[in-house]
């Protein structure tokens, strides 16, 4: 699948929406989760595209879609999805959302119920869960845009290797990279 892009109407700030599509039939729009990209759906789509037009969207601030320097919130994400649905003329459609994408999909469904044929939520975020509060506070230093954090993480590499924690450190480095290249997830920490 080759990624394409569409520029949304000025009503939606003329953002660029990156997406891929496969198959023909009734449209299904796939919304990825936190720190994800539309490619996460490709295995599932292989089975559905024989009967449906499957479309994977990189959410605003993620993947290859526009990454404006704004405060990301669910209302803006819903407006972005709405602009995409209008630009692609895929109304009515089914929406499948995972994690953050599930939160956006459910908010979209509340705002535009007559535009959906189905709403499928897979482990959606945005549902009150007090055990979630504060769970990721320890990741906040990874948001700091300073070379000191990178320097400290690099200094830890030999120690992590000796302690058998090299894979854990690599995961932390990956998370930091993703948080700095995809501004949308940064807003939700």
- For 73-122, how does the pLDDT look when each residue is reduced to its tens digit (9 = 90+)? 999 999 999 999 999 999 999 999 999 999 999 999 999 999 999 999 99
What percent of the chain has pLDDT above 70? 94
37 and 63 assigned to the same domain: yes
With bands split at pLDDT 50, 70 and 90, how would you rate the model's confidence at 16? very high
Range of the domain at 151: 137-187
pTM for this prediction = 0.76
Percent of the chain residues topping a pLDDT of 90: 59
Domain count, the chain: 2
Residue 62 maps to a domain:
yes
- State the DSSP string of the chain: ---EEEEPPGGGTT-EEEEEEE--SEEEEEE--TT--GGGGHHHHHHHTTTEEEEEEPPTTSTTS---SS---HHHHHHHHHHHHHHHT--SEEEEEETHHHHHHHHHHHH-GGGEEEEEEES-S-S--TTTTTTTGGGGGGG---HHHHHHHHHHHHHHHHTT-HHHHHHHHHHHHHHHH-HHHHHT-
Shared domain for 43 and 117, answered yes or no, is yes
What band does 132 get if pLDDT is binned at 50, 70 and 90?
low
């Amino acid at each position: 699948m080759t990624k394409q892009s569409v520029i949304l109407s000025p009503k939606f700030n003329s953002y660029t929406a990156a997406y891929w599509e496969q198959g023909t039939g009734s449209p299904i729009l796939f919304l990825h989760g936190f720190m994800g990209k539309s490619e996460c759906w490709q295995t599932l789509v292989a089975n559905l595209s024989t009967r449906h037009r499957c479309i994977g969207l990189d959410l605003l601030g993620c993947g290859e879609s526009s990454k404006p320097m704004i405060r990301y919130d669910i209302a803006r994400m819903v407006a972005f999805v709405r602009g995409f649905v209008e630009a692609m003329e895929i109304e009515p459609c089914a929406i499948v959302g995972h994690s953050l994408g599930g939160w956006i999909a459910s908010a979209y469904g509340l705002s535009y119920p007559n535009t959906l044929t189905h709403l499928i939520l897979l482990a959606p975020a945005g549902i009150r869960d007090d055990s979630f509060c504060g769970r990721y506070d320890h990741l906040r230093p990874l948001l700091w845009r300073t070379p000191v954090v990178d320097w400290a993480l690099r200094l830890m590499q030999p120690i992590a290797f000796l302690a058998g924690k090299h894979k854990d450190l690599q995961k932390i480095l990956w998370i930091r990279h993703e948080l700095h290249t995809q501004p949308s997830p940064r807003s939700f920490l």
